[in-house]
Structure 1
Amino acid sequence: MDWGLFLTYLFACGAAAATGALIQPGAWYESLEKPSWTPPNWVFPVVWTVLYIAIAYAGMRVALIAGSGAALAWWSVQIALNTLWTPVFFGLKRMGTGLVVIVLLWVAVAMTMRGFWALDAIAGLLFAPYLLWVTIATALNASVWWKNRAAVVA
């Protein structure tokens, strides 16, 4: 375990998490029509905390492997898109644009998982719950956008 490298990846995840802490869903989101299967609010910070630790650990594992540049480039893309989604969806209140961002995030997470799996099966497996959660989040974003489409710009 390279603690310095792990903390570097965890710091990058913390930057993504900070957008969620700084830009709260608030009254606007509460007023939207949501599907019946929307997780309770307390689930989101719990799940994201676990996922960010796994994402950071997987990144550290792969960073220690020669020839991991392409996989780590995808890691960088996914964390950038992860960071972008909250300000777009909750900050700008752009559900349609948020849907585009989260679909791109899903692709980046899948590509990261694929690249990690080829180099380190454990790192690849650590991305599986993340891909599942982003799949759920994408469906939730799409559903909220669809249910409220008459009242939105993008």
Structure 2
Amino acid sequence: MIAARTQPATGLSLVAAATIVAGVMGVSALVGRRNAPDKSHPGIRGWYRRLDKPSFTPPDAAFGAVWPALEASLAVGGYRLLRAPASTSRNLGVGLWLLNTGMIGGWTELFFRKRALGASTAASAMMMGTGAGYVVAASRVDRPAGLLGVPFVAWLGFATLLAEQVWQRNPDRGAAAA
């Protein structure tokens, strides 16, 4: 009886898990939106457009299509983990899920608002590592949850290369020049 109280046999309820996922993803989206290089942020948009970017930079519309899909995959993965029975492995997966969703908004703050090109490149590389850790940890608990994180890690590999190239091509347009 005591073990049942300290180690629940099931994860969070459908409503609790969905509420947590909606809250976490909503905060991440709000932070990202605050730093978006769009018409509502002309200073950020102008700075981003003036950057020297490599030829493999996707068009703006691609970012608008890719990120919602990646975030939806992360949301479903996080939901599945929260619904899984409580365990140390599940808690590690949830912790890494929270870290990665938080880092998405943090990256936009570093790159777009603070214009810290070197720091945002390092953050992107760190996210690739924590994202891979999430995939491994989540897969141990719920294989589909882990697999849902694979596109995120793949995108981060590309994004890290892109961020590094932007940083190298724009030594005078980073935070010190802002």
Q: Same fold (TM over 0.5)?
A: yes
Out of 36, 53, 77, the position equivalent to 1:58 is: 77
- CA drift of 1:24 comes to 2.3
Count of residue pairs the alignment pairs up: 154
Are 1:17 and 2:29 matched, yes or no?
Answer: yes
Asked whether the 8 Å contact 2:24–2:98 carries over to 1, the reply is: no
Asked whether the 8 Å contact 1:13–1:56 carries over to 2, the reply is: yes
- CA drift of 1:135 comes to 1.2
Asked whether the 8 Å contact 1:6–1:56 carries over to 2, the reply is: no
Are 1:42 and 2:64 matched, yes or no?
Answer: no
- Structure 1: tracts of 5 or more residues without a match: none
Q: Which residue matches 2:141?
A: 119
- For 1:52 and 1:133, how far apart are their aligned partners in 2? 12
Out of 156, 161, 164, the position equivalent to 1:134 is: 156
- For 2:96 and 2:162, how far apart are their aligned partners in 1? 24
1:100-115 to 2 correspondences below 5 Å: 100-115=122-137
Amino acid at match of 1:58: G
Amino acid at match of 2:61: W
- For 1:49 and 1:82, how far apart are their aligned partners in 2? 12
Out of 7, 23, 27, the position equivalent to 2:46 is: 27
Amino acid at match of 1:8: I
Deviations 1:52-87 (A, max 9, x none): 111111111111222111111111111121110101
- For 1:57 and 1:125, how far apart are their aligned partners in 2? 11
Asked whether the 8 Å contact 1:103–1:138 carries over to 2, the reply is: yes
- CA drift of 1:138 comes to 0.9
Q: Which residue matches 1:70?
A: 92
**What secondary structure, in the 3-state scheme, does the structure 1 residue paired with 2:59 have?**
coil
| Greater shift in the superposed pair: 17-26 or 69-78 | 17-26
Aligned CA-pair RMSD: 1.8
- For 1:71 and 1:151, how far apart are their aligned partners in 2? 37
Q: Which residue matches 1:88?
A: 110
Amino acid at match of 1:111: G
- Structure 2: tracts of 5 or more residues without a match: 1-12, 38-44
- For 1:19 and 1:141, how far apart are their aligned partners in 2? 19
Q: Which residue matches 1:79?
A: 101
- CA drift of 1:122 comes to 0.6
- CA drift of 1:4 comes to 4.4
